[in-house]
Amino acid sequence: MSELAARRNANGENRLPPATAVVVAGLTYALLPATLLFMPRFVIPAVEIVLLVALIATNPRRMTRETRWSRIVSVALASVVIVTNMAALGMLVVALTRPSTPGGPLLVAAMQVWLTNVIGFGLLYWELDRGGPVARRTIRRDNIQPADWRFSHDENKDTVAEVAVTASEQSGWIPTFVDYLYLSLTNSSAFSPTDTMPLSTRAKILMGVEATAALLTSLLVIARAVGSIGG
């Protein structure tokens, strides 16, 4: 089996994982306290669902086709999740710095913001790296866009046999949405790269923004929790 054939054997990446992530992000946003919403509660989730439906219409089950417009919609969807969540984070910062604000609901909201942060950046990483999910499976490696991230699979060909068998060069392995979601999760937890390294300037900027947002959320939660104990 050729390298390109090995990458195509799944007939396109499954639509379900990223679609489920978008639905979770929309529901999480809809459940935020009213004080963290800058417009009617269901407007942003409705926009996200409309964009998702448009993408599902293009590739209902597996992502095998891509147009210029579907690419724009895909990036726009991830951007909407991130930008609206950043707005909620800003409002959360203001709310948590007010001593008179009830802490319990806002601490829960902080976890909701953190979760949406992970999903939003995971979606954007997945859409940007190497031209996106369709390009990663259909374009030869020597013609594909430069990688934004280097995964461990991309460099383990010289390890022991049972590890090297999954190397990108030997098996045709390519990252899927779950890999980018894991990248986003570890970046939001460790506030720095772990086993996947950013290569491009935009990847470094995005990971820096995500880690800063996650760190700010965590520090606010800790500070409010300590303040509650002290009170």
Position 99 scores a pLDDT of 66
Burial of residue 180 (CB within 10 Å: 0-12, 13-18, 19+) is: buried
Q: Are 210 and 121 in contact (CB under 8 A)?
A: yes
Band (pLDDT 50/70/90 cuts) for residue 29 is very high
**Of 25-39, 101-115, 145-159, where does mean pLDDT reach its minimum?**
101-115
- State pLDDT tens for residues 145-177: 999 999 988 888 878 877 878 888 778 889 999
- Measured CA to CA, the distance from residue 5 to residue 11 in angstroms comes to 10
- Please identify which residue in the block is written with the tokens 């990036």: 75
**Of 49-53, 160-164, 206-210, where does mean pLDDT reach its minimum?**
160-164
Q: Are 50 and 131 in contact (CB under 8 A)?
A: no
- State pLDDT tens for residues 58-74: 999 999 888 899 999 99
Q: What is the mean pLDDT of residues 95-111?
A: 75
Q: What beta strand segments (E) does 73-180 contain?
A: 149-150
Q: What is the pTM of this model?
A: 0.90
- Measured CA to CA, the distance from residue 7 to residue 175 in angstroms comes to 10
- Measured CA to CA, the distance from residue 194 to residue 177 in angstroms comes to 17
* pLDDT tops 60 at residue 10: no
**Of 1-15, 63-77, 115-129, where does mean pLDDT reach its minimum?**
1-15
Position 94 scores a pLDDT of 83
Q: Are 89 and 216 in contact (CB under 8 A)?
A: yes
Q: What is the mean pLDDT of residues 50-64?
A: 93
